[in-house]
Amino acid sequence: MKKIITLVSAIAILGACAEKNSTNTITTSALSSEEKKDSTHIKQFFNTALTEGKSYEWLRDLTQNIGGRLSGSPEAAKAVVWGEQLMKNVGLDSVWLQPVMVPHWVRGEKEQAYYTINNQQKQVPICALGFSIATPENGITGEVVEVKSLDEAKKMGDQLSGKIVFFNGAFDETLINTFQAYGGCVGQRFSGARVCGELGAKAVIVRSMTNGINDYPHTGTMSYGDLPEDKQIPAAAISSRAAENLSNDLKANPNLQFYFKQSCKTLPDAPSHNVIGEIKGTENPEKIIVVGGHLDSWDLGEGAHDDGTGVVQSLEVAYLLKKNNIKPKNTIRVVFFMNEENGTRGAKEYAKQAKLNNEIHVAGLESDAGGHTPRGFSIDANKNNTELVKSWKKLLAPYGLHDLIKGGSGADISPLKNNEVTLVGYRPDSQRYFDYHHTVTDTFDKVNKRELELGSASMASLVYLMDKYLYTDDKVKP
């Protein structure tokens, strides 16, 4: 009896393991013989990434030994040297630096903010927005007017004169894709100071672009547009929890005085580089498939998910092709773009030089949505090529890549857009991305090794398929 009971227990426990095992099996029965070959190569990319992948250690080096690397900073310059050396180490056929002048904004001293309510001084986690001007040396004090959107601010007009305008539009948490929620709010951050400066406001403070409630101010770029200098006003982000608290405190005391101080400034443009390396194509070396992420990052945090992961994944695509002896027909070019965060000057320079040199880009793939678990790709291409990419779903779905959909690609490759080029954005799961985005918590420890490697292999698989199938079949030529 004891034996039977123990056996039953053992079966129950081992059964429980087995029962959890049933997803993600790769079935090849519905594939053509050519697709079976593709399936085998794709499996090899995943196997290699998960057992001999380099991206995680590359990322550790970039984030922990260099760290945050805002355009124009010494860290960004170090990252260029690091990237060039790494591409050479991977054994790309050629590696070079493409010069580009970049904006050079510096944060200065750590920002301060507080207000007093019920005789208690409340400290507010705050950070300047990129391109903002400083406050006067002694800071700014003023009454606060809360609004939820740019439209609401515009409607208030002159009532904002002399006030600190507090943009408190929160993410729409019901949107499953958090990038949509970001898209619905980021206008406040980008244009709040331009709109309110025009209306004579004293400054703007913006609720951080993040899901939920946390204690970190999230920076990001803003613009004064064509606002004359005398109307430009300081702009900063406060944490979402501070925004909630301030909103409540304003209900109790609409006249409370908010104080903040920041010493950021924009210096003259600085020289920098895109880092470029390539594997020469065996059949059509003049045709280029570009794969990239951006090397610069915000100064807060270590630029891990934004976009250290995209950088190391892009290079790992080349590593995985080489390691598996894939000789691409077209040239596979890896680009570490400079200055995506505040100017996209690297992207513009890359596209400009491509045009000047009559380069033929057949495709581009960008990873700039974090290093989380794979979900799919977003395709910006003509109808035939969009359908072609979608047709690879049966090969990619076993790896969690179900979302092959029409959409944008990414800020760094989209300047290459025309009717002949197939541009694709890598789309990992978005749930955790805005926990870290542009803030001090975007650090190496937030990146899971397997999720990162699965992303590299996903990207390598797509590049392999694009190299093999784009422009080889009359039906899918643009």
Instruction: Name every residue whose Cβ is closer than 8 Å to that of residue 31 and which is 6 or more positions away in sequence.
Output: 38, 39, 394, 395
How large is the C-alpha radius of gyration of the chain?
25
Paired residues of 96 in beta bridges: 276
Of 15 and 108, the one with the shorter C-beta distance to its own copies is 15
Query: Least distance to its own copies from the beta carbon of 247, Å?
Result: 17
Q: Which stretch binds its own copies (CB under 8 A): 21-29, 33-41, 92-100, 306-314?
A: 21-29
Query: Least distance to its own copies from the beta carbon of 447, Å?
Result: 11
By rule CB under 8 A, what count of residues binds its own copies? 82
User: Does residue 305 bind its own copies (CB under 8 A)?
Assistant: no
Query: Least distance to its own copies from the beta carbon of 161, Å?
Result: 24
Query: Least distance to its own copies from the beta carbon of 62, Å?
Result: 20
Of 239 and 430, the one with the shorter C-beta distance to its own copies is 430
Paired residues of 99 in beta bridges: 273
CA 415-421-424 angle, to 5 degrees, is 75
- Euclidean distance between CA atoms 49 and 371, whole angstroms: 14
Structure tokens at 321: 């092709």
Query: Least distance to its own copies from the beta carbon of 330, Å?
Result: 24
- Euclidean distance between CA atoms 210 and 239, whole angstroms: 9
Of 34 and 52, the one with the shorter C-beta distance to its own copies is 52
User: Does residue 85 bind its own copies (CB under 8 A)?
Assistant: no
In this chain, which of 16, 30, 252, 356 binds its own copies, going by CB under 8 A?
16
Furthest C-alpha separation in the chain: 89
User: Does residue 7 bind its own copies (CB under 8 A)?
Assistant: yes
- Euclidean distance between CA atoms 284 and 298, whole angstroms: 38
Element (H, E) at 115: strand 112-117
Q: Is omega for the bond preceding 380 within 30 degrees of 0, making it cis?
A: no
x-or-dash string of contact with its own copies, 353-392, rule CB under 8 A: ---------------xx---x-xx-x-x------------
Q: Which of residues 340-359 bind its own copies (CB under 8 A)?
A: 340, 343-344, 347
Q: Which of residues 425-454 bind its own copies (CB under 8 A)?
A: 425, 427, 429-432, 435, 448-451, 454
Of 406 and 477, the one with the shorter C-beta distance to its own copies is 406
- Euclidean distance between CA atoms 418 and 229, whole angstroms: 37
Of 349 and 429, the one with the shorter C-beta distance to its own copies is 429
Of 82 and 336, the one with the shorter C-beta distance to its own copies is 336
Query: Least distance to its own copies from the beta carbon of 142, Å?
Result: 27
Q: Which of residues 182-201 bind its own copies (CB under 8 A)?
A: 182-183, 186-187, 190-191
Q: Which of 340, 462, 360 is CA-nearest to residue 412? A: 340
User: Does residue 14 bind its own copies (CB under 8 A)?
Assistant: yes
In this chain, which of 91, 108, 157, 212 binds its own copies, going by CB under 8 A?
212
In this chain, which of 403, 468, 469, 478 binds its own copies, going by CB under 8 A?
403
- Euclidean distance between CA atoms 451 and 431, whole angstroms: 13
Query: Least distance to its own copies from the beta carbon of 21, Å?
Result: 5
Structure tokens at 446: 């937030």
User: Does residue 23 bind its own copies (CB under 8 A)?
Assistant: yes
In this chain, which of 22, 32, 418, 419 binds its own copies, going by CB under 8 A?
22
Structure tokens at 79: 């990252």
Q: Which of 310, 340, 478 is CA-nearest to residue 415? A: 340
Of 2 and 475, the one with the shorter C-beta distance to its own copies is 2
Q: What are phi and psi of 344, to 5 degrees?
A: 45, 40
In this chain, which of 101, 400, 469, 478 binds its own copies, going by CB under 8 A?
400
Of 110 and 390, the one with the shorter C-beta distance to its own copies is 390
Q: Which of residues 34-63 bind its own copies (CB under 8 A)?
A: 46-47, 50-51
Element (H, E) at 38: helix 33-52
Q: Which stretch binds its own copies (CB under 8 A): 172-180, 246-254, 261-269, 276-284?
A: 172-180
Query: Least distance to its own copies from the beta carbon of 69, Å?
Result: 19
User: Does residue 339 bind its own copies (CB under 8 A)?
Assistant: no
- Euclidean distance between CA atoms 50 and 66, whole angstroms: 25
CB 51 within 8 A of CB 450: no
Query: Least distance to its own copies from the beta carbon of 17, Å?
Result: 4
User: Does residue 409 bind its own copies (CB under 8 A)?
Assistant: yes
Instruction: Write the burial class of residue 413 (CB in 10 Å: 0-12 exposed, 13-18 middle, 19+ buried).
Output: buried
Structure tokens at 138: 């002694």
Instruction: Name every residue whose Cβ is closer than 8 Å to that of residue 8 and which is 6 or more positions away in sequence.
Output: none
Of 174 and 358, the one with the shorter C-beta distance to its own copies is 174
DSSP 472: S
Structure tokens at 471: 């422009």
- Euclidean distance between CA atoms 205 and 436, whole angstroms: 20
